[in-house]
Every structure is written in structure tokens, then in C-alpha cells.
Amino acid sequence: MVKLKEFLKADHTQGGPVLSIGDLIDTFIRYLEGQKGYSRNTIRNYEIDLKQFLRFWTSKTASPDHRGSQLCRKEPDPLVIREYLGSLFGRYRRSTIARKLSAVRSFFLFLEKKGLINKNPAADISTPKREKYIPTYLPVDDVFRLLERPERERPLGLRDLAILEVLYSCGLRVSELEALNVSSIDFDERLVRVIGKGDKERIVPIGVIALRAVKEYLEATRQLRKKAGVDLSKGPLFINFKGGRLTVRSIARIVKRYARECGLSSEISPHSLRHTFATHLLDGGADLRSVQELLGHASLSTTQKYTHVSLDRLMEVYDKAHPRSK
């Protein structure tokens, strides 16, 4: 691991510090992994966002050293960051731009604390206002159509069914589903131990039908797991045909494929089933605080976006049932 003090090199020709960009990113990412406890998904997004920003930054201020490496010979400027954010509008949603700014701000805060820069140039840059949107969700009939689609005669069909059932039954993030092990499920108590954002653990119930789908899938893949050397009780819950853990990208492809085959929107994703889980609970009378706990939201305000959907349902019921609604 490269030491931070090696990043600052005397530059007598330019009169300023020289920062090794790639090494700084790598050190910051290791810091997030080792000390901050961020989820793998968050860390991956931060790394992508930072490399995108630093490509923009180096295009404005970098020059090669004697080895051909790109080195920044100027401390970061708020104007460069504002110009970078301006280049993102029209290409990304505001929520994505806000995340990219958060990555940049955290990165420069890290450099400031390490004494590598004098001041965080992103500290005073305002976060873009996020769009208010109604989450994509499925009506109950469409969910049932989706869940009936996988072929139950094949192990892959049983796997896909179990994935869809668990996503809808438990409201998990796709990264949380990916990380599940067989030991994460208490089959007797019908509970699932989930590791969420920031490695926070929560316990969520799992429905009888989803649990049955998981049991049938595990039984159908018993020989594959043995052949691949996968621990039958502690190994990954969802595996590919080689016995390796199924990736987030593969899970997303599975959900989109079945949605497409059912004639549903192309926007349907694993996160749509999480939205559907929350919406159906609220429509069924669940209180907002309970749904917050089940989803693993740190703030109730994050959960409140689902009330917009439920209010539509309430208005529909009101208009049909109240004698003086019209």
C-alpha cells in the first residue's frame, strides 16, 4: 500500500505539490472499506464516480511526469467542481448527480484531514435538489403473473422463482439479496438476517410461499453445491451454474427478463420489487414506522416517498365510497 506522504512531492519548477491521482483514489477506497464500513455497492459507485471526476479534473489541470503518469499540479478548485457538475446535468438524474458530488466531497475531505490539501473545495457547493418521483411498483395481479413465469421443472427456474419470491416477500435491496447465505435464513422461525447499508444488520420476516420456494431451490441444487465444493449450510444462497455467488448484475438481468416476458414495463428491476413490497404493505394497513424497519431505512423521510403511492389508492377508495366525494 502506498503511503500518503509519498503523494506529496516537491515540485520546484511549478512551485506547488504534485498529487498522484490513482494512488489517492486507491487509498481513499481502502479507507472506506477498512474504516467506514460502507457497503460494497456504495464503494463501487464511489470509485466509479471519483474516477469519472478525476478524468475531468486531470483534463483541465494535469500534465505527465517523467514516467508518463498523470499528475495534478494544482490544488482542486471549486470552479472546476462546479464545471464538472454542470457537465452532468442533462445526462444524469439529479439524485445521481447528488451522489457523485457526495463522493467528490468525501474524497476531498479525506485529503484535507490527511493534510494533502489546504481546504475541501467541495465543502460549500450545494447539493442539487432531488426530483420528487413516485417509485415504480407493480399492482398485485402483475406481481402474481411475474411469480408464475419461472419454470418449476428446472433448477434454474426454481432459482429464479426463489429470487423473485424473496425480493417481493422481504423487500430486500439487490445487494442484500446477493450477500445472503443459506445460514442467513432461519427456516423454523421464518426470519432472514440481512446485512444492509453500512453493514447494519436487521431481521425481516419471510413469507411461507417464499420460504417454500427457497427450500425447493436448495433441494434441487444440492448436488451442484456438493460438486462445486459449496458449503450446504453456510455457502451463498443464490449461485450460478458453476456454484459461485450470483452477482447483482445477474439478478437484475433475471428480473428484467421475466418482466419482459410478462409484457411488463422495461423499467422493472429488483428495486421495483422492493418498492412494490413497501407499497403493498402500506396499502394493506401497515404503519410507516414498521415499513421503515423492514426496509432498513435510517430515516423515516426516506420511507415517506411510498405514501404518495398509497395516497393515490386512498383517493381512489374515497372517491368510490364517500357519498359526497363528488
Return the ∠ at Cα 140 (arms to 202 and 137), rounded to 5°. 65
Looking at residue 103, its pLDDT comes to 92
Contact between 122 and 108 under an 8 Å Cβ cutoff? The reply is: yes
145 catalytic residue (yes or no): no
308 catalytic residue (yes or no): no
Q: 173, 225, 256, 275: which one is catalytic?
A: 173
- Confidence band (pLDDT; 50, 70, 90) for 254? very high
- The model's pLDDT over 79-90, given as tens digits with 9 standing for 90+, comes to 889 999 999 988
Q: 145, 197, 202, 245: which one is catalytic?
A: 197
- Quote the DSSP letter at residue 162: H
Domains identified in the chain and CATH numbers: 4-113 (1.10.150.130), 140-321 (1.10.443.10)
173 catalytic residue (yes or no): yes
Tell me: pLDDT of 296 over 80: yes
Strands in the chain per DSSP E: 19-20, 62-64, 70-72, 185-186, 191-195, 201-205
Looking at residue 8, its pLDDT comes to 43
How are strands ordered across the β-sheet holding 201-205? Answer: 185-186, 191-195, 201-205
Q: 99, 105, 271, 280: which one is catalytic?
A: 271
271 catalytic residue (yes or no): yes
5 catalytic residue (yes or no): no
227 catalytic residue (yes or no): no
Instruction: Please give the Cα distance from 235 to 245 (Å, whole number).
Output: 9
Angle between helices 140-147 and 270-283 (to 10 degrees): 130
Contact between 192 and 170 under an 8 Å Cβ cutoff? The reply is: yes
Q: 149, 190, 297, 305: which one is catalytic?
A: 297
Looking at residue 212, its pLDDT comes to 96
Q: 99, 274, 275, 280: which one is catalytic?
A: 274
- Phi and psi, residue 59, nearest 5°: -65, -25
